[in-house]
Amino acid sequence: MPHGLKILPAGGDVWLDEHGNITCHLQENFVLLDNVSGRTVEVEIGGPAPGFLLPGNYLLRENGTIVDRTSGTTLASRRPETATTVGRRLLETYPGGGKIALTSTGHVAANINDRWTTIGRVNEDEWF
């Protein structure tokens, strides 16, 4: 099944830009579904978040603590060996902290000026 049908099972409008990026609106968010150019596109910190937002509601506190807002669980309780490093890394680009999300590409995004913006990347062994 093509990626878009997994994300938009009922279908919907998608846009293809001159760089081969396929984007759409998913609820209130503008998201990158895929790139069909055949080129690998590097994601830059501060650029638009790639992929789509995964379920989850997280908070990055000003001290670097990351909390799953739904359960109240901290990343430190789940991944004590990496939580401090991940929190510090994310605070470098998002120093005030706030609501964050994980994307399908492993990037961490924050809603900055009404746009989901890449603030970092995590591996599976670093996240909840």
**Model pLDDT for residues 71-103, shown as the tens digit of each residue:** 999 999 999 999 999 999 999 999 999 999 998
Q: How confident is the model at residue 67 (pLDDT cuts 50, 70, 90)?
A: very high
Mean pLDDT, rounded, for 32-53: 78
- 50 is written with which tokens? 């790639």
Q: How far is CA 40 from CA 20, 48, 88, in A?
A: 11, 15, 28
pLDDT above 60 (res 8): no
Rounded-to-integer distance, Cα 124 and Cα 128, Å? 8
**pTM for the whole structure:** 0.71
| Vertex 55 angle, CA 54 and 61, to 5° | 90
Q: How confident is the model at residue 17 (pLDDT cuts 50, 70, 90)?
A: confident
Instruction: Tell me the average pLDDT of the chain.
Output: 86
pLDDT above 50 (res 109): yes
Contact 116, 101 (CB under 8 A): yes
pLDDT above 50 (res 1): no
